[in-house]
Structure 1
């Protein structure tokens, strides 16, 4: 297509969206909720095609157990968001805060917290043992949280105009979720430009999101950087949202201009990844603990092939932990045992070569596809400041034990690691109890948008009511992991972070050791044998919840 032709088509799409924006401003909250419900039916009808298209984009065979990842991070994530956002709209339509009935708590620094997981009663069973709270910024009261929850839907007649969403190319639910958040949090309709990696999903997206398209609230286009640039600087676009890399963000904002002179003259929000730490608290772990948490680490690194903005990249260990060598041995074994998959994301091989060049003594695992970068190398800065976006796992050793080690780890990751999107902490429940207030204070000092304790930050990503984004405070010229949040189905205002907590051990060992957690190995583990079936059943449940479906889901989960 010629340059003139594609620009004409894009101009037409923006004009249609502008008219749709005006209609959206006149749409009642109940009618908006009804539209989301119809979109849920449409997404459910396309779920099979959606998963198949995402798998083709990644070279994953239909028979692979890894297909479960495409269900959970594809249609499942969008269906749960549509349902939750619809509930928020109906609450507001009934002149009730979306936070009605929500449990509030307190965190260090006088922060108010809001329970976001379990979001509904079913979550308490399907994700038993997991919980999450959104921490509001210091000074925000519970009363203020209740009155402000709803964001753009508190003033539905105020239009946010037409926004550009530059979609991610790694997880297939991200772009639709970003579109939904723009629409509900900001009353902004969207033109979505797909990442070329997901161009093959265009017909699926258009069919699944047809109710939004038919209502004039969404247009989906493909193209390269020229299309993205044209749209970003189009006078009809009021706002840009990007999920990607800081380099892409800076190219859009500054282009060829000097760093202190943005070329982009409109607001931009972003989710940009980073280097996510996995802080391991030393303690007396059993052999089963070592093996299970090693599988947990392998999942944090290898889910989606390692092409995740919150993939755990650096293990932070105590140099004096007696079980350090045993744990690293189990981690290497878990990485090697993970299902094989192609290096499908563009540039992966080049990034792997760069990692090998930076760490020539690194250990290759599973045919050289995975690397364990052991020890505190003279060149360790590379693994702390480079988001490899590939199956590379680093190891950083710090001195100390107990509170001294944890404090040193927090100081190090805050100071030296790139980005602020997600951080993980693994430790025995007894160790955490003994640290007491010192542990909670350390969590409060971690400057990350999502912190997962005995869980992976990916649980926060998939928890529909949990706000997702970088720690607040970044600027255009130092964007780090981005600006703003997404997901956040309760439409909370003034969020600082999300804190997720999970069980250290799976059922039944959890009960035997005094943890009240009934979930076996989670279906998102790369080693979960029944992950594909469990994820498919969860997606069906998200589309049409029923108590009668629960036994089959739980039976599949227990075969993991």
Structure 2
């Protein structure tokens, strides 16, 4: 370790040691005011953030894809800080953060908290979408209420120093992870940026300036040597990382043959708590039904978006579609899916190793179709030995599995395959016609309950769960260090619900006005995050502006842009 690395790490840790003493003395009111300041700074520097992100991802400033950077950048931090501030206000006033939220029993002795929509603006801006956080089995509503608040229930009992190893794909991940360490875990925190995101250092330092000045947060750059020095520093109490399972195992068990032996023996070399969000191979189950031509086209664009948002560099990008071999409309849907992949805007491969991973997929599957820079693979087997089910390509590669059976048999079989054969448990999507959901009834509800994933989206993309500040985000609970899959623990979770099991997101099958014509009560047009949305950048920039200062006067321009998409 060089002198420079040592000096950087020691300076950060020394500042945080002093800062922890101050953090323990900081009242809930002052902590809430800090969130308000971070919110204000995020609003002030949002444009700089997005322009810097565009440079990293090689997107022109007039690209329609820039909407992704608005909504997964400053918008996510704005809404996350605001929602956390509401939770702290509740605790200040002697209430539970979940008070006022609809709570109902969920299957299997669970409790569901409806976290979206929350208020009139949510109901108007994403009409027809909803999200619930489910507890683990056996946790009743009173227990959820009593335990919500996590580290802020005992603010003077701080948790030491935490390290966040930032992600390099979605640029709100790292700052939101910092907030979670600071508030949920009640730790002061040093963020080590992924080298891809080093250009964001100046804007993040401006956003977190009030926390940096008081020693609550440090943001530093550097390579693996800096990260290693941080996580192994004796004064660091906990680690959180976003990345791959390979990186996780290198941190926890070491590298090379010695690391493999340590992992096999279950002897970690990092003897402190580590939480993580690690991605995986996410499925989309397409339930057969009678769909119109417009339905086929819209849902094909939906599935293409689930894969191609951020060019597939998402931990929850859908990698494999699970469809019915006996669906009479199967070939028409696959034709529409190929067309949607072709229509989606082309974009640079900014994430390191993308081209190599695409080439590897094409070598593994000679039958793969090249659709522009995208790769489409049919004929996958529902077997864990299938490489595409255990390799997260993190690139524009989409595969298809076909399973036999009528809708009832197909859905039950699809759930088993997703649970037992796919690598990872971060997110799973289900696309189903409302008539199919109604006909399946309790069997459909059972399928949602049986899926072992941290976020499940019905007629929506699990990425919406990421964007919902009060939803939990992370793997399905139960993984261990030696078989970490999609990680351990959750983030976001702005209601500070203790040990949630999953988030369930639901959306309309059709966009407005077709939804209304077919009896779905939803006013939402084509979602602005669709990669085929023509006005996505404008709509999501305006939505971010709204999140800076929610107000009725801003709604008409958002609606007008959304309707043109």
1:452 alignment counterpart: 457
Q: 1:289 and 2:295 equivalent? A: yes
Report 1:382-397 matches (<5 A): 382-397=387-402
Report 1:50-199 matches (<5 A): 50-199=49-198
Q: 1:303 and 2:302 equivalent? A: no
Which range is displaced more, 383-392 or 116-125?
Answer: 116-125
Q: 1:375 and 2:379 equivalent? A: yes
- How far did 1:470 drift? 0.2
Residues of 1 paired with 2:118 and 2:464: CA distance? 13
Which range is displaced more, 114-123 or 459-468?
Answer: 114-123
1:527 alignment counterpart: 532
1:370-406 per-position Cα deviation (integer Å, ceiling 9, x unaligned): 1110123599711111000000000000111211100
Residues of 2 paired with 1:430 and 1:378: CA distance? 27
1:442 alignment counterpart: 447
Please give the TM-score of this superposition, normalised by the length of structure 2. Answer: 0.97
1:231 alignment counterpart: 230
SS of residue paired to 1:116? strand
Task: Assess, with a 3 A threshold, how the Cα gap between structure 1 residues 93 and 377 changes in structure 2: closer, same or farther.
Answer: closer
Task: Assess, with a 3 A threshold, how the Cα gap between structure 1 residues 105 and 349 changes in structure 2: closer, same or farther.
Answer: same
RMSD: 1.1
Report 1:211-250 matches (<5 A): 211-250=210-249
1:415 alignment counterpart: 420
1:408-448 per-position Cα deviation (integer Å, ceiling 9, x unaligned): 00000101000000000001001001000111111111000
Which range is displaced more, 84-93 or 256-265?
Answer: 256-265
1:402 alignment counterpart: 407
SS of residue paired to 1:423? strand
1:487 alignment counterpart: 492
SS of residue paired to 1:389? coil
Residues of 2 paired with 1:529 and 1:172: CA distance? 23
SS of residue paired to 1:516? coil
Structure 1: gaps of 5 or more residues? none
Task: Assess, with a 3 A threshold, how the Cα gap between structure 1 residues 8 and 559 changes in structure 2: closer, same or farther.
Answer: same
Please say if residues 140 and 494 of structure 1, whose CA atoms lie closer than 8 Å, have aligned partners that are also in contact. no
1:277 to 276, 280, 283: 283
Residues of 1 paired with 2:99 and 2:107: CA distance? 24
Please say if residues 5 and 225 of structure 2, whose CA atoms lie closer than 8 Å, have aligned partners that are also in contact. no
1:185-216 per-position Cα deviation (integer Å, ceiling 9, x unaligned): 01111110000111111111111221121121
Please give the TM-score of this superposition, normalised by the length of structure 1. Answer: 0.98
Q: 1:336 and 2:335 equivalent? A: no
Residues of 1 paired with 2:46 and 2:281: CA distance? 32
Residues of 1 paired with 2:155 and 2:382: CA distance? 55
SS of residue paired to 1:291? helix
- How far did 1:340 drift? 1.0
Structure 2: gaps of 5 or more residues? none
Query: Which runs of structure 1 show a deviation greater than 4 angstroms over 4 or more consecutive aligned residues?
Result: 377-380
Q: 1:349 and 2:355 equivalent? A: yes
Task: Assess, with a 3 A threshold, how the Cα gap between structure 1 residues 207 and 437 changes in structure 2: closer, same or farther.
Answer: same
SS of residue paired to 1:375? strand
1:300-358 per-position Cα deviation (integer Å, ceiling 9, x unaligned): 00000110000000000001111111101101101111111011100101100110011
Residues of 1 paired with 2:275 and 2:2: CA distance? 28
Q: 1:517 and 2:516 equivalent? A: no
